[in-house]
């Protein structure tokens, strides 16, 4: 066997779908965790400086955000390991069913492990759909504040005396209590908030984090197809000669 034939044989054992899903999963989780962590810290700074000057009013929110930041560390570590395991399982299954390293042989243990990956990937996919929806909430909140600032900056608003009546009450979102002071920012003060680096960075980082969560959902969908197909191959290979590139 020549070098070219050897390379073709090795490339034939690459689980391309799992490889693409792993790259997409790593990228999505990195964006979600990294950008989400920084955006949460920026949100706390904005609340403390402008919407809730009394520390006791947002103490619970600060604890929740700090807990979410620790959860982000755990999510990043878990998906790093899980992506590598799924990629390794894809390499093993592809090489086995194409008989690249000898005679194919399936066992009950191998089918059980493959089925476990199918179940776990489906559960994670459903969970990440919820994470994707949840990550859109801060984007919606920041968009409302940004659009209100754009109204204040518009020529129609600048020529009226009612510009100071245009306000944003952050208490209506339920993240701080109704007795928080000031809770509501109006007019030029609100425009100054929108012009700060903390607001600009947090808004765009939440958008990127939401996009990262969406990319992770797509990666998990690809994993679902790959693991399901791998399980079917392991189950039926002994009765039917088939091959896979997953």
Whole-number pLDDT of residue 230: 76
pTM: 0.84
Interstrand relation of 184-186 and 167-169 (parallel, antiparallel or unpaired): antiparallel
Tell me which of 230 and 206 has the higher pLDDT: 206
pLDDT at 243 over 50: no
Whole-number pLDDT of residue 235: 73
Whole-number pLDDT of residue 29: 94
pLDDT at 93 over 80: no
Tell me which of 158 and 30 has the higher pLDDT: 30
Q: Give per-residue pLDDT as tens, 188-202.
A: 888 889 899 999 999
Rounded to an integer, the average pLDDT of 75-102 is 76
Whole-number pLDDT of residue 28: 94
Whole-number pLDDT of residue 101: 47
pLDDT at 158 over 60: no
> pLDDT class for 39, splitting at 50, 70, 90?
very high
Residue 180's Cβ-count burial label (10 Å; 0-12, 13-18, 19+) is buried
Helix and strand numbers, DSSP H then E, in the chain: 7, 2
Whole-number pLDDT of residue 69: 87
Rounded to an integer, the average pLDDT of 113-135 is 90
Token representation of residue 10: 């090795």
Q: How high does pLDDT run on average in the chain?
A: 82
Q: Which residues pair with 186 in a beta bridge?
A: 167
Q: Give per-residue pLDDT as tens, 45-65.
A: 898 888 888 888 788 888 999
- The DSSP secondary structure of 140-169, one letter per residue, reads HHHHHHHHHHHHHHSHHHHTSGGGGG-EEE
Query: Are 244 and 230 a contacting pair, CB within 8 Å?
Result: yes
CA torsion 103-227-82-90 (nearest 10°) is: 30
% of the chain surpassing 70 pLDDT:
80
pLDDT at 138 over 90: yes
């Amino acid at each position: 066997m020549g070098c070219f034939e050897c390379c073709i044989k090795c490339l034939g054992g690459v689980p391309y779908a799992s490889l693409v899903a792993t790259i997409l999963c790593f990228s999505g989780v990195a964006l979600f965790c990294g950008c989400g962590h920084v955006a949460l810290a920026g949100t706390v700074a904005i609340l403390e400086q402008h919407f809730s000057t009394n520390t006791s009013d947002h103490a619970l929110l600060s604890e929740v955000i700090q807990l979410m930041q620790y959860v982000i560390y755990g999510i990043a570590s878990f998906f790093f390991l899980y992506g590598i395991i799924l990629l390794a399982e894809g390499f093993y299954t592809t090489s086995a069913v194409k008989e690249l390293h000898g005679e194919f042989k399936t066992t009950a243990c191998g089918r059980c492990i493959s089925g476990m990956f199918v179940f776990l990937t489906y559960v994670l996919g459903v969970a990440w759909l919820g994470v994707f929806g949840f990550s859109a909430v801060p984007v919606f909140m920041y968009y409302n504040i940004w659009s209100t600032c754009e109204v204040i900056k518009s020529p129609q608003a600048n020529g009226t005396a009612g510009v100071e009546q245009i306000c944003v009450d952050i208490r209506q979102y339920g993240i701080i209590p109704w007795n928080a002071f000031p809770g509501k920012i109006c007019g030029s003060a609100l425009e100054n908030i929108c012009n700060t680096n903390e607001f600009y960075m947090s808004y765009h980082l939440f958008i990127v984090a939401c996009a990262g969560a969406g990319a992770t959902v797509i990666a998990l969908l690809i994993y679902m197809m790959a693991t399901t197909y791998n399980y079917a191959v392991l189950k039926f290979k002994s009765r039917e000669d088939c091959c896979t590139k997953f």
